[in-house]
């Protein structure tokens, strides 16, 4: 079976975890600090705050943005459910906007229509690694005095207008889940250039503790901590951070290899008139966290039939990006919501295998099986 994805982990990461374990410092210590500093340098941000995953990063971003009960945050429904869940965690209401049918990124015009006096923020998602039009949303947020938060779970290493994702706005949230381009097993990061956010995020991730464990450990004097506000246990371990440091060293190479595979798919499928391929506009640089293929109405078989035939042939796929408003957890919450563009894009697209290193024979097999099933 050709897998849909798998992380690129080598002896380097194994050795790094071994060495870290032997130091005896395995959580929220020197390796976490090193990972944060190197990640900030890589993205161009002033600060980076390591967290347990991207969902916790989104949650804390809501808190430091001052979002709470009675507020509204506009976001796409076509995104992993964690995007909307983070809004609900603080008692606010996610307001779902449509997406662009070609990029699957949130649609600016529809967002503008849904701004109300209760709107406090726009949560932009860089869908499967393809950057959204950040400058356009920054302008919209400035006009209406709104916060802009980036869900960059899939976009580590992607670029917009020549700059890495992570430096364009005040709160950018990343994921290091195994399905992502780089992985720490699980984990997340927030980048920011605002010192006030940086200081508070560090408090919130560790129970609101005024003095962290490492500072107390290294102090030559007795230090007593104070818990200055309600916080959370959202820490990253040093073991994970050691893996992240090694992954970061390889990230540009991993992305270059992923883009080569994406180009192979582009070239193989571009003449098939019943499918639509990803669109990377000028000034946008995708890490191709996933490769999504949309089946047009003239396709000879349905999306689900194609997925089953590929599975029968030994090729794993996944459905297109989910629409949160149609999930059971949102059944009562989303009554009456209709998002035809998002629903169509979700229902008619599939994600096909892409990982590093992907053997040439597997790339060819995916291409050949899709062409064979579509009769092309």
Catalytic site positions: 180
> Residues with Cβ < 8 Å from 329, sequence gap 6 or more?
81
Q: How far apart are the first and last CA of the chain?
A: 23
DSSP annotation of 81 reads T
Q: What are the structure tokens assigned to 247, written together?
A: 């992954």
Distance CA 106, CA 219 (A): 48
d(CA 320, CA 12): 33
Apex 277 CA angle, 307 and 369, nearest 5: 40
Rounded-to-integer distance, Cα 95 and Cα 324, Å: 11
Chain length of the chain: 376
Residue 344 C-beta-side C-alpha neighbours within 13 Å: 12
Residue 171 in contact with residue 164, Cβ under 8 Å?
no
326, 372 contact by CB (below 8 A): no
Q: Quick one: DSSP state of residue 129?
A: G
Query: With contact defined as beta carbons under 8 Å apart, do 285 and 278 qualify?
Result: no
């Amino acid at each position: 079976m050709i897998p849909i994805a798998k992380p690129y982990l080598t002896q380097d990461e194994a050795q790094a975890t071994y060495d870290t374990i032997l130091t005896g410092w395995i959580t929220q210590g020197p390796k976490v600090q090193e990972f944060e500093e190197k990640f900030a340098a890589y993205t161009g941000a002033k600060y980076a705050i390591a967290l347990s995953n991207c969902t916790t990063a989104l949650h804390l971003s809501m808190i430091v943005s001052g979002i709470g009960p009675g507020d509204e945050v506009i976001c796409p429904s076509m995104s992993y459910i964690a995007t909307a869940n983070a809004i609900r965690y603080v008692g606010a209401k996610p307001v779902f906007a449509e997406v662009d049918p070609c990029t699957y990124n949130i649609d600016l015009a529809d967002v503008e229509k849904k701004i109300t006096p209760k709107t406090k923020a726009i949560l932009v998602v860089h869908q499967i690694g393809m950057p959204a039009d950040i400058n356009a949303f920054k302008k919209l947020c400035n006009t209406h005095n709104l916060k802009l938060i980036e869900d960059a779970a899939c976009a580590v290493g992607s670029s917009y207008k020549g700059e890495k994702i992570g430096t364009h706005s005040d709160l950018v949230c990343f994921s290091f889940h195994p399905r992502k381009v780089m992985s720490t097993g699980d984990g997340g990061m927030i980048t920011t250039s605002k010192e006030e956010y940086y200081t508070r995020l560090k408090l919130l991730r560790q129970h609101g503790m005024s003095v962290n464990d490492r500072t107390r450990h290294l102090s030559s004097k007795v230090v007593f901590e104070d818990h200055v506000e309600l916080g959370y246990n959202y820490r990253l371990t040093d073991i994970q951070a050691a893996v992240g440091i090694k992954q970061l060293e390889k990230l540009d190479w991993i992305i270059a290899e992923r883009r080569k595979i994406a180009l192979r798919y582009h070239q193989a499928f571009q003449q098939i008139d019943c499918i639509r391929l990803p669109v990377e506009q000028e000034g946008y640089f995708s890490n191709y966290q996933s490769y999504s293929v949309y089946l047009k109405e003239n396709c000879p078989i349905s999306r689900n039939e194609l997925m089953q035939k590929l599975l029968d042939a030994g090729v794993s796929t996944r459905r297109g990006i989910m629409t949160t408003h149609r999930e059971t957890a949102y059944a009562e919450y989303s009554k009456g919501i209709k998002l035809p563009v998002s629903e169509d894009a979700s229902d008619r697209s599939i994600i096909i295998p892409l990982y590093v290193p992907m053997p040439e024979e597997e790339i060819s097999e995916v291409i050949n099986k899709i062409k064979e099933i579509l009769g092309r």
